[in-house]
């Protein structure tokens, strides 16, 4: 029996094989889907009451897991991760979903809400959902892959905007945004790489354990996961190139400013030398008694400056 008042119980549905579902009934032999929140203290005992082996229960309530597939005689244990789209959360902090798959029953376990599961539940309520447990498993994986696809597309759009910003405006905060994208990609890729292997193992098992056609659908989802992983790798490489370009533009701007200062210093260097000599407060400085000395020295400095500028122009230094 199921205690529907238990805090760890999220919802339970009986699939009607026509795309719809009704509230869970323990005595209903139809395909059933139980969704559990493992963060509650009673989660382990609740799962144990459903006839699951202790080792399976311990795996389902582990606080931290990596994507993998474990196949046993009693059923199949699947750990996957989905993009965290909960309000106030970081997408790279991916939500863990654990699935225990039996012949006519699916038990899903999570800690944080997953929008993909909520979508499937709504579809079942509208008689537009999966018709069987294998169909439900493939649909869950497909919905999670859809969210990952949206995330990858969003990251790519951000990167395109950053590339335009760096090339046209070179905004100061571009480097910070590039680093943030790289950290985000690293966090997501950490789980997508093993998730590809987990789906590969599930696909290999589904060839003999699921009805014809579902293995092909799983293969499609695995190929999607591989493609998204490759897209993230490409985006990561593009961020490296963009970061190098940002640094090159910064160095070019800095060199331009230093070059301009060097030109100015070179122009005024002879003038500074002359004013330094005639500015000495010692006896014997020539022209101190000559009323035309100031005009002569000023003219000399002007001619010297023009000569230096002409020399730099001839040498094409600016």
Kindly state the tokens that stand for 75: 């059923």
More confident residue, 142 or 166: 142
Q: Assess whether pLDDT exceeds 80 at residue 204.
A: yes
Range with the lowest mean pLDDT among 12-16, 102-106, 166-170, 214-218? 166-170
The predicted-structure confidence for 12-29, as pLDDT tens digits, reads as follows 898 988 888 888 776 555
Residue with tokens 């993909």: 116
Look up residue 7 and give its DSSP letter: T
Q: Which of 101, 113, 114 is nearest to 33 (CA)?
A: 101
The pLDDT of residue 136: 93
Domains and CATH numbers, the chain: 9-249 (3.30.460.20), 260-314 (1.20.58)
Rounded to whole angstroms, the Cα distance separating 45 from 48 reads: 5
More confident residue, 154 or 64: 154
Compute φ and ψ for 35, nearest 5 degrees.
Answer: -120, 125
The predicted-structure confidence for 111-146, as pLDDT tens digits, reads as follows 888 889 999 999 999 999 998 999 999 999 999 999
The predicted-structure confidence for 266-317, as pLDDT tens digits, reads as follows 888 888 888 887 777 777 777 777 778 778 888 888 888 888 888 878 877 7
The predicted-structure confidence for 190-200, as pLDDT tens digits, reads as follows 888 899 899 99
CB of 169 closer than 8 Å to CB of 64: no
Q: Which residues does residue 76 pair with via DSSP β-bridges, in sequence order?
A: 71, 101
Kindly state the tokens that stand for 116: 């993909």
Q: Mean pLDDT in the chain?
A: 85
pLDDT over 90 percentage in the chain: 25
The pLDDT of residue 97: 93
The pLDDT of residue 33: 92
The pLDDT of residue 119: 92
The pLDDT of residue 310: 86
Q: Residue 298, CB half-sphere, CA atoms under 13 Å: how many?
A: 5
H/E segment holding residue 11? strand 9-15
The pLDDT of residue 106: 93
CB of 13 closer than 8 Å to CB of 23: yes
Look up residue 106 and give its DSSP letter: E
Would you say how long the chain is, in residues?
318
- Tell me the pLDDT band of 1, cut-offs 50, 70 and 90: low
3-state secondary structure of 74: coil
pLDDT over 70 percentage in the chain: 95
pLDDT (mean) for 250-264: 84
Relative orientation angle of helices 174-209 and 214-278, to the nearest 10 degrees: 160
The predicted-structure confidence for 65-81, as pLDDT tens digits, reads as follows 889 999 988 889 999 99
CB of 110 closer than 8 Å to CB of 72: no
More confident residue, 26 or 176: 176
- The helix, strand and coil proportions of the chain, stated in percent and rounded to the nearest 5, come to 60, 15, 30
């Amino acid at each position: 029996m199921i205690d529907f008042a238990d805090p760890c119980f999220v919802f339970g549905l009986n699939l009607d094989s026509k795309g719809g579902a009704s509230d869970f009934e323990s005595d209903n032999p139809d395909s059933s889907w139980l969704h559990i929140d493992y963060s509650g203290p009673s989660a382990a005992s609740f799962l144990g009451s459903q006839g699951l082996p202790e080792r399976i229960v311990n795996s389902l309530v582990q606080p931290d897991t990596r994507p993998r597939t474990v196949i046993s005689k009693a059923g199949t244990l699947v750990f996957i991760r989905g993009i965290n789209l909960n309000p106030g959360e970081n997408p790279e902090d991916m939500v863990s979903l654990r699935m225990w798959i039996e012949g006519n029953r699916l038990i899903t376990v999570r800690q944080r809400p997953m929008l993909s599961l909520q979508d499937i539940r709504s579809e079942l309520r509208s008689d537009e959902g999966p018709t069987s447990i294998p169909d439900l498993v493939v649909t869950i994986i497909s919905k999670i892959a859809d969210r990952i696809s949206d995330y990858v597309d969003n990251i790519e759009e951000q990167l395109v905007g950053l590339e335009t910003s760096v090339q046209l405006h070179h905004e100061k905060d571009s480097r910070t945004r590039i680093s943030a994208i790289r950290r985000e990609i690293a966090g997501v890729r950490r789980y997508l790489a093993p998730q590809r292997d987990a789906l590969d193992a599930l696909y290999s098992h589904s060839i003999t354990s699921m009805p014809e056609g579902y293995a092909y659908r799983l293969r499609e989802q695995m190929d999607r996961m591989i493609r998204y992983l490759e897209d993230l790798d490409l985006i990561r490489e593009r961020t490296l190139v963009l970061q190098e370009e940002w640094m090159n533009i910064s160095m070019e701007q800095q060199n331009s400013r230093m070059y301009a200062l060097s030109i100015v210093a070179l122009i005024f260097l002879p003038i500074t030398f002359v004013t330094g000599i005639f500015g000495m407060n010692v006896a014997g400085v020539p022209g101190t008694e000559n009323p035309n000395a100031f005009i002569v020295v000023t003219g000399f400095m002007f001619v010297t400056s023009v000569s230096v500028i002409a020399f730099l122009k001839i040498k094409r230094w600016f």
